[in-house]
Structure 1
Amino acid sequence: MLRTRSSARSRQRLTTALAVFGILGGGTAALAVTAPPAAAATTPHRVLFDNSKAETAGNADWIIGTSQPDPLGQKAAPTAEKDWTGALSAWGVALQKTGDYSLKTLPSGNTITYGTSSALDLQNFDTFVLPEPNVLLSASEKTAVMKFVQNGGGLFMISDHTGSDRNNDGADAVKVLNDLMTDNSVDSTDPFGFSIDSLNIATDNPKAVANTTDPVLNGPFGKVTGSIIRNGTTATLKPADNPAVKGLVYRTGSSGNTGAFFATSTFGSGRVAFWGDSSPIDDGTGQSGNNLFDGWDDPAGTDAALALNGTQWLSGATGSTGGGGGGGGGTCTAAQLLANPGFESGATAWSGTSGVITTDSGEPARTGSYKAWLSGYGSAHTDTLSQTVTVPAGCTSAKLSFYLHVDTAETTTTTAYDTLKAQVLDGSGAVLSTLATYSNLDAAGGYTQRTLDLGGYAGQTVTVRFTGTEGSQLQTSFVIDDTALDVS
């Protein structure tokens, strides 16, 4: 029986398995590139550069070094880009010299994985760089990448122009990256809020938007004023699908949702960056016989700063020289901040749709009598649940946890008809981030605890909001219980 909108509500329950909720990345980084840090980070920020998808096919050389997986095998203390051999060696050496990064390469012949015992598994890294991949990712690899981001990882996607199929297998970087976003088992409903355009822009010098606070444009490696296109492409932004997406650098004459040459977004608790050409990361040096181009130092752009600031932001890094990261000074007393966390006082302290917090026996609470039950009507309907909270500025840890159960009467295995979005809003109600989107495809039996890292919002007052949106037929219920926001 479907849930009704009366005080006595019940429905038939179906059980399946629930997908994992992501962890929100923390604050941005701040580490000077022009001078060594005062002290290296206790835990280096771990970056994996891909070389498993034909990144050296043709005259490409998109590697940080020929010593793989560990570039330190070529030279342990590099001081110049030629100390490592590869067209991305300037990028790698610049990070290595800070002392705050641990770099590895996924060599050719390897498979991208997440959650395995491999030392090169994505769970062992903070950021994964895909520099102009030329081979389609397998279904398992796409799942690995998407879950990595959803659970807090940073993904750097670097495309090239359409037709740049360097190994002649029918897939160029545009196709590979669009395929990752549109045909995966985690979320194929425009998860990052953009698609890559099938263009070949011969030459342009795109300019950065006017912004003095964005951590990628104003990071510790320098101020970004623009970039270069030497046969590349752009992206079309779709903020209706993911309001976190934003363009930072635009093709000349473009703005808004079209012509974004460099864009950032979030997915789950992770971060994503897109760059429309590999020329800006090419340092002009590499293996013998390759036709390389020094875009890294091209005076028409600030490409080095853009690559390095982008890596730092994706890694959630907080460098030893201060700057970026969640909050600043102040003191912190360990505490649980949410009021009425188990809903046992009814709707007290929570805002949202009337009747969402309920004792209705159609869905049992995990503990006690009350829980929050969003959707479940089998007709077009939207429910919300939210609470506003201030994360103390001095807290270095802020973790929001809750138990979530999803069940559905939908029978499809491919279409997300009903969804639950978890978002963070600012004081004006604007969405700061969509943390994750669940759907009828994620149905499961029982409750599972999920955790979000809100450390990046230290010193801010934010609203955590859940929104359940149901289609016109067949119910899906999203049930939440036993929440907490623990800070320390």
Structure 2
Amino acid sequence: MTDSVLLRSRFGAAFVAVAASAALAGAGALVVAGGGPAQAATAKHRVLFDDSKAETAGNADWIISTSMPDPTKQNASPSAETDWTGAISSWGVALQKTGNYQLDTLPSGSTITYGTSAATDLANFDEFVLPEPNIVLSSAEKTALMKFVQNGGGLFLISDHTGSDRNNDGWDSPKIINDLMTNNTVDNTDPFGFSVDLKNIVSDTPRAISDASNPVLNGAFGAVTGSVIYNGTTETLHPADNPNVKGLLYATGSTAGGTTGAFFATSTFGSGRVAIWGDSSTIDDGTGESGKSLFNGWNDPKGTDSQLALNATAWLAGGGTTPPSSSSSTPTTRPSSTPSTTPSTSPSTSSSSQGSCTAAQLLGNPGFETGAAAPWTASSGVVNNAADEPARTGSWDAWLDGTGAARTDTLSQAVTLPTGCAGYRFGFWLHTDTAETSTTKAYDTLKVQVLNSSGTVLSTLATFSNVNASSGYVQHTYDLSAYAGQAVTLKFTGAEDYEYQTSFVIDDTSVSVS
């Protein structure tokens, strides 16, 4: 970003937007790069487990089955965890027995991708499980993974203690996960709101916070009371960077709900969800490939690790699920062809539901990447790709004001909020730069408001000003649950006075219900 912009070219931005819109219309189809995870033909939650990052190095055996990518090739209807071979086969078998999941593995030697034609491309899945990676992700892989989450995917990260370099390449899981969050091309500004501590906690029994409404702690697979650590680590939370980060279990001696000592935490990024666990011993079921020295943390009576893993899987995949049956289920019906990875102009949705609520991202053109405003209503030239104010992601953003003259710009979109959902979140990223010299007086303002269908203001969610200038984009999220069941309009109004520009630049918007 540049903080020295004094005047913007309105004509140029408007011309580019119109020209891009015309070119797209002439092509006969509108294609947006980086769409949300494609939906399979079935209603099953689609979960991809990783084995491309040395998850079986040393004594590790973090695979659901030796049959890859499809574990059902080993046993189509497993009834016991030994029906699939791997130290986390209990996890996979428990999900398979519900009949609600399509499970696959990204095999060793593969690459993490998003938006390709590969059957194991992230666009074909709702959730990606990265269990103690031991090979650092490439730049392209980090971009793919971050885009996947940003566009609605769920990411399950499982770390281990510092120094757990099982393949002796200089990288262990804490270092690899921290690198993902601080060294990628999408967002390096602490996108998830947590960092992995470089610790080796030899033994502990972390306890869960008290939160009866939390779907991870109290989900369809049972109540979570605690977990175990056998050489693991914790996370430090940074709610100032991401207010949605939440610690669910804390190590002994840490303050429940605090920012340090979190052993299991959840967060969001864009339209997606993230969870992190500080020890791989928790997912180990004690059995696996021959020659591996394994430990049964999955069923350790000191914790409730199986319930935690399964509830978190359901939450990350987009909603609740039914608990496993004691009897064998029928084999999963797998799609006969690879789901389309062609990006869509429609808001990304999830096939899962909680009660009458279908998890969804409701805004159209959330990153303005069509090059035109619709379905937003915007002042002329607001949606643009000017180099002076680059987009947070992609090429286009919404730039309000920035002229250095008296001006009011608006940006709005109507949305109907369904009933029966547990969460209603409105989010966006805002960059504010200004030529104003005062750090205390608000001369130029941006109001974020909720209006009813008649245009009456129901609420002003926030007011920003030149005082809030920052060097980069800052994420903001607001609760819209008060408007469940209503048709409302979300509106940004930027008002600039007669001198010294202030630019309010918006990107990566979302209205997520779940």
TM-score by length of 1: 0.69
The answer to whether the 8 Å contact 1:246/1:264 transfers is yes
Deviations 1:427-477 (A, max 9, x none): 79xxxxxxxxxxxxxxxxxxxxxxxxxxxx955999968799xxxx99755
> What is the alpha-carbon root mean square deviation over aligned residues?
4.4
C-alpha displacement at 1:155, in angstroms? 0.2
Matched with 2:449 is 387
Partner of 1:449: none
Determine the C-alpha separation between the residues in 2 that align with 1:326 and 1:390.
26
Aligned partner of 1:303 in structure 2 is: 305
**In structure 1, what residue type is equivalent to 2:174?**
V
Q: What code does the residue aligned with 1:266 have?
A: T
Query: CA 1:358/1:12 → structure 2, altered by over 3 Å: closer, same or farther?
Result: closer
Q: 2:434 aligns with which of 368, 374, 377?
A: 377
User: Which amino acid is 1:261 matched to?
Assistant: F
Identify the residue that residue 279 of structure 1 maps to in structure 2. Answer: 281
Q: Which deviations, in whole Å up to 9, do the C-alpha atoms of 1:275-297 show, x marking residues without a partner?
A: 00000100000001000000000
Output one character per residue of 1:325-379: Cα deviation in whole Å (capped at 9) or x when no partner.
557489xxx9x9xxx96368xxxxxxxxxxx9879799999xxx95479846345
Aligned residues of 1:60 and 1:290 also touching (Cα < 8 A) = yes
Q: Deviations over 1:281-334 (max 9, x none)?
A: 00000001000000000000000000000000000034368xx9557489xxx9
Q: Which residue of 1 aligns with 2:260?
A: 258
Q: Hey, what's the Cα distance between the residues in 2 that align with 1:134 and 1:486? A: 33
Deviation at 1:251, TM superposition (A): 0.1
Alpha-carbon distance change, 462 to 103 in structure 1, aligned in 2, over 3 angstroms: farther
Distance 1:464 1:158, change over 3 A: farther
Counterpart in the other structure of 1:179 = 179
SS of equivalent to 1:97? helix
After superposition, what is the alpha-carbon deviation per residue over 1:1-43, rounded to whole angstroms, capped at 9, x for unaligned? 9557xxxx977968899x9788699xxxxxxxxxxxxxxx942
Q: For 1:120 and 1:172, locate their aligned partners in 2 and report how far apart those are by CA, in whole Å.
A: 25
Q: How many residues align?
A: 389
Q: What is the deviation of 1:419?
A: 1.9
> What is the DSSP-based 3-state SS (H/G/I as helix, E as strand, rest coil) of the residue aligned with 1:311?
helix
Shift of 1:122: 0.3
CA distance in 2, matches of 1:486, 1:205: 34
**Contact 1:3–1:11 (8 Å) recurs in 2:** no
1:478 counterpart = 2:500: no
What per-residue deviation string (whole Å, max 9, x for no partner) do you get for residues 121-149 of structure 1? 00000000000000000000000000000
Judged with a 3 Å threshold, the aligned counterparts in structure 2 of structure 1 residues 170 and 357 are, in CA distance, closer, same or farther, namely closer
Which amino acid letter does the alignment assign opposite residue 386 of structure 1? V
CA shift for structure 1 position 63: 0.2
CA offsets, 1:52-103, max 9 Å, x none? 0000000100000000110011000001000000000000000000000000
- Equivalent positions of 1:114-129 (< 5 A) are 114-129=114-129
Write out aligned runs for 1:33-432 (5 A): 42-255=42-255, 256-319=258-321, 325=353, 328=356, 342=377, 371=411, 375=432, 377-379=434-436, 383-388=445-450, 417-419=471-473, 421-425=475-479
1:236 to 1:375, Cα distance in 2 relative to 1, 3 A? closer
- TM-aligned CA distance change 1:66 to 1:421, over 3 Å: same
Per the TM alignment, residue 424 of structure 1 is displaced from its structure 2 partner at its CA by 2.7
Change (3 A) 1:127 1:11: same
Amino acid aligned to 1:221 = F
Unaligned runs of 5+ in 1: 26-40, 345-355, 392-415, 429-456
SS at match of 2:189: coil
**Equivalent residues of 1:197, 1:233 under 8 A apart:** yes
Shift in Å, 1:265: 0.1
CA distance in 2, matches of 1:359, 1:182: 30
Letter in 1 for 2:314: Q
Change (3 A) 1:467 1:300: farther
Q: State the 1:478 CA deviation.
A: 2.0
Higher relative contact order (CA 8 A, sep 6+): 1
CA deviation profile, 1:219-255 (whole Å, cap 9, x unmatched): 0000000000000000000000000000000001102
Q: 1:388: Cα distance to partner?
A: 2.9
Distance 1:425 1:91, change over 3 A: same
1:143-200, CA deviations, whole angstroms, 9 ceiling, x for partnerless residues? Answer: 0000000000000000000000000000000011000001000001000000000000
Equivalent runs, 1:443-458 vs 2, <5 Å: none
- Corresponding residue SS for 2:147: helix
Does structure 1 conserve the Cα–Cα contact (< 8 Å) formed by 2:401 and 2:504?
Answer: no
1:208 & 1:67 partners in 2: Cα distance? 35
> Aligned partners of 1:228, 1:460: CA distance in 2, in Å?
44
Q: What CA distance in whole angstroms lies between the structure 2 residues aligned with 1:283 and 1:426?
A: 41
Where structure 2 has 5 or more consecutive residues not aligned to the other structure, the ranges are: 21-31, 324-351, 365-374, 380-398, 413-429, 454-469, 495-499
The answer on whether the counterparts of 2:151 and 2:271 sit within 8 Å (CA) in structure 1 is yes
Distance 2:511 2:57 in 1: 48
Q: In structure 2, what is the Cα distance between the partners aligned to 1:178 and 1:113?
A: 20
Contact 1:422 1:465 in 2 (8 A): no
State the AA in 2 paired with 1:342: T
Aligned residues with identical type, % of pairs: 58
AA in 2 matched with 1:199: K
The separation in 1 between residues aligned to 2:512 and 2:317, in whole angstroms, is: 23
CA contact (8 A) 2:50 2:105 kept: yes
Please tell me whether the aligned partners of residues 114 and 147 of structure 1 are also in contact (alpha carbons under 8 angstroms). yes
Is residue 220–residue 322 contact of structure 2 (8 Å, CA) maintained in 1?
no
Q: Per the alignment, do residues 320 and 263 of structure 1 end up closer, same or farther by CA in structure 2, a change over 3 Å counting? A: closer
Q: Secondary structure at the match of 1:165?
A: coil
